[in-house]
Amino acid sequence: MIMKVGKANTKIEGWELRQKDSGWGYAVAHIIPLVWIYYASSRRTITPFLYISLGSLIIGFFAPEEVSDVFAILASPFLAKAGISQAKKYGSLKIKELKIDQ
C-alpha cells in the first residue's frame, strides 16, 4: 500500500483510477459535451482531450469540408481510447516507480 500524503494523494488516486479504465465507456462518453472535464479532473490527465483535439484538427485539414465534422465526431471515441490507453500506461509507470522507491 502506498502512503498518501498531501498533494501527492490526488496524483496517486488519479493514477490508480486510470488503471480501472479498461473498456470503451469513457472513450465513447467523450462525445458528450463536458465529459472530458470530469474525466480530466478525476484522473488528473488531459491526454485524451489532447488526442481528440489534435486528431480533430488533422481531420479538419485533410477531410472534405462537408464531412469533416462528422469524421471528427466519429473518430472521437477512437482518439479518446488511444489517449486513455496512453494515460493509463503513464499512470502504471508512475505507480511502479513509487512502489520501487519505498
How long, in residues, is the chain? 102
Q: Per-residue pLDDT tens for 52-100? A: 999 999 999 999 999 999 999 999 999 999 999 999 999 999 888 888 6
How high is the pLDDT of residue 100? Answer: 62
Overall pTM surpassing 0.75 (yes/no): yes
Q: How confident is the model at residue 102 (pLDDT cuts 50, 70, 90)?
A: low
Amino acid at 83: G
90/11 Cα distance (integer angstroms):
12
How high is the pLDDT of residue 56? Answer: 94
Q: How confident is the model at residue 33 (pLDDT cuts 50, 70, 90)?
A: confident
42/55 Cα distance (integer angstroms):
23
C-alpha triplet 27, 32, 34: angle, nearest 5°: 100
Say if residues 52 and 79 touch (Cβ distance below 8 Å): yes
Which residue did the predictor score with more confidence, 7 or 24?
24
